[in-house]
Homo-oligomer: A and B are copies of this chain.
Amino acid sequence: MVGSGAAGMTAASTAREQDHEASITVITEDKHVAYSPCAIPYVIEGSIPDFRSIVMHTPEFYEQERGIKIKTATKVIAVDMDSKKLRTSVGEELPYDSLVLCPGGIVFVPPVEGAKLPGVFTVHNLADGEAIQNALKRVQSVVVAGAGVIGLEMAVAINRLGKKVTVVEMFPQVVPRLLDPDMAVLVQHHCEKKGIEIALSAPMAAIRGKDKVEGVVAAGKETECQMVIMATGVRANLELPSMMGLDIGALGAVRVSATLQPYRKNRLVKDVYLAGDVIMCENAVTPGPTMNQLGTAAVRQGRVAGINAASGCASYPPVVAPWVSCLGEMQVAGTGLSQSLAEYYGLKLVEGRVTGLTRARYYPGGKSITVKMLADQETRKIVGAQIVGGEEVTGRIDWLTAAVLKGVSADEFVASFESAYCPPTSMVKDVVNLAAEALQRALNG
C-alpha cells in the first residue's frame, strides 16, 4: 500500500481481513496514519479538544494488532510494474504481489502573487491543522479563499475563536456546484449572521505583504489580514501515477476500472489498484465520470482495493456521493445532482422545495429544516437533493441517497416511501415527504 489516509489504511486493514497470512506494508510520506482530516476545522474551533484525539490508531497499533508494517516519512520514487518492485526514498527496493496506490490529493493553490508568503496555509493534513492552530494564536484577522465546504467550515471555526474572517469566492455563490443558488443563500446568510464577511464573484487576485501576509486583493478590493487559508479545491496527486505512465482521465485524475485497476495506454494494468482522491469514479445518476473526493469514498474504495489486492473480488459501483457539513448550528447536506451539475450533464431538472420542522410543530426545540429535491423532467426520477437544517440532516440525506441510487421516481416516493414518526423527532408527514409532494406537483406542471 502506498499512502496512509483513509483509503490506504482501509485497504491495508481490509486486505488483512481477507488474507491472514499475507505480508502487508504501508509506505507513507506522512508522519501520522489513520487520522481524519475532515475533523481539522472542529479541532480548530475547539469542539474536539486536540489533534491527538483525531488520530485513531498509531503505526504501532497496526503492526501489533493487525500485522501491518508501516514505513512513515518514506516516499515511493520508482515502480517497475513488469518486475513488480518499487524503490523508496530511503533506498529500499521492495517486491510486491499487489500494489495499492492511495497518494491522495493536493490542494490547488492559485498561482497568485504572494501565495508563498508566510501566513498562507492549506488545510490538508494534520501538520497543516497544527500549523494553523499555532499561527492563529498571533492572528486577529483571516481571509479564507474558497467558500466550498472546507472553506466555510474553517471560516466558522475561526469566527468562533473571535477572529475576524472574510471569505472570498470566485463563483457568485457559496458551495458552488454542490448547492443550488437558493440553498446556498441560506448557508451564506447563516454565516453572515455570525459576522463572517463573504465576498462572492471575487477570485483572489493577489496576496499582499512583504515578509508575511498583510492583506488580500479580490474583486478589486483589498482586505487586511494576517493569515490566508487556501480552501481552493483538491486535485488528484498525480506525481506517482504520471511517473508510472498510468492513463489520466478527462477530470485530471486516474482512470480506473470497476475493480479500481488503472490503465496504461488503454490497457488494464495487472496487480495495481488505486483508491481515494487520486481517481475518477462513475456517476450513478447519469453516465460519465465524476470526482468523489470524500472521506467516505476513500473508505469504500479502500475496502474494494484491499479485497482485490488480497486476491478477493469486489467492485466499486457508480456513485451518488452524498455529503454533509456542520457549520455551527446549521447542518448542510447534498446528494446526487444539483442544478448546476445537471446543466453540465445536459439534463433538465424540476425541483420541489419545502421548509418545515425537525419535530412536530407543537414539540419544543424543533429546528427549521429546508429540503429540496430534484427530478429529471423526462423520467421523473429523483436525481438529487439538498438539505439545510438545524438537526437530523444526515439520516435524511442518506434516505434520499437510497432513492437516487435506486432510480425512484417522485411519484413512487410520494406513494410508497413511508417514514417513521414520533413528535420529538419528526412531523407526522416528514419534511422529506412534503418536499416529494412539492416535487410531484412541480413535475405535473
Q: List residues of A whose CB falls within 8 A of some B CB.
A: 6, 36, 38-39, 42, 47-49, 53-54, 56, 284, 294-297, 299-300, 314-315, 317, 319-326, 331, 333, 335, 360-364, 392-399, 401-403, 405-406, 408, 415-426, 428-430, 432
Whether A394 contacts B48 by the Cβ 8 Å rule is: no
Whether A395 contacts B399 by the Cβ 8 Å rule is: yes
Whether A420 contacts B401 by the Cβ 8 Å rule is: yes
Closest chain B residue, CB of each to CB of A51: B362
Whether A362 contacts B53 by the Cβ 8 Å rule is: yes
Partner of A425, one of B54, B324, B421: B324
Given contacts A39-B362, A420-B323, A421-B296, contact A394 B394 (CB under 8 A): no
Distance, CA A136 to CA B296, complexed state (A): 50
Shortest Cβ-Cβ A-B pairs, 5 listed: A395-B395, A324-B420, A322-B420, A402-B402, A53-B362
Partner of A296, one of B294, B394, B420: B420
User: How often does this chain occur in the complex, in copies?
Assistant: 2
Closest chain B residue, CB of each to CB of A333: B420
Partner of A422, one of B319, B325, B396: B325
Whether B398 contacts A420 by the Cβ 8 Å rule is: yes
Q: Which residues of B contact A361 (CB under 8 A)?
A: 56
Closest chain B residue, CB of each to CB of A56: B361
Distance, CA A299 to CA B429, complexed state (A): 8
Whether B402 contacts A417 by the Cβ 8 Å rule is: yes
Q: Which residues of B contact A335 (CB under 8 A)?
A: 420
Whether B425 contacts A393 by the Cβ 8 Å rule is: yes
Whether A428 contacts B299 by the Cβ 8 Å rule is: yes
Distance, CA A392 to CA B393, complexed state (A): 9
- In the complex, what's the smallest C-beta–C-beta distance from A240 to chain B, in angstroms? 24
Besides A47-B363, A322-B418, 10 new A-B residue pairs in contact (Cβ under 8 A), listed by A number: A294-B421, A315-B415, A322-B419, A324-B421, A331-B425, A394-B419, A394-B426, A398-B432, A401-B419, A405-B417
- In the complex, what's the smallest C-beta–C-beta distance from A416 to chain B, in angstroms? 5
Whether A398 contacts B395 by the Cβ 8 Å rule is: yes
Given contacts A317-B415, A417-B402, contact A423 B42 (CB under 8 A): yes
Distance, CA A174 to CA B151, complexed state (A): 48
- In the complex, what's the smallest C-beta–C-beta distance from A188 to chain B, in angstroms? 19
Whether A326 contacts B425 by the Cβ 8 Å rule is: yes
- In the complex, what's the smallest C-beta–C-beta distance from A232 to chain B, in angstroms? 21
- In the complex, what's the smallest C-beta–C-beta distance from A336 to chain B, in angstroms? 10
- In the complex, what's the smallest C-beta–C-beta distance from A325 to chain B, in angstroms? 6
Most chain B CB neighbours (cut-off 10 Å) among A360, A408, A420, A429: A420
Q: List 29 A-B contacts (CB under 8 A).
A: A6-B428, A38-B428, A39-B363, A47-B424, A48-B362, A295-B421, A296-B418, A296-B421, A297-B418, A315-B415, A317-B415, A321-B418, A324-B420, A324-B426, A335-B420, A392-B392, A393-B425, A397-B420, A398-B399, A398-B419, A398-B430, A398-B432, A399-B402, A401-B418, A401-B420, A402-B406, A402-B417, A405-B416, A406-B406
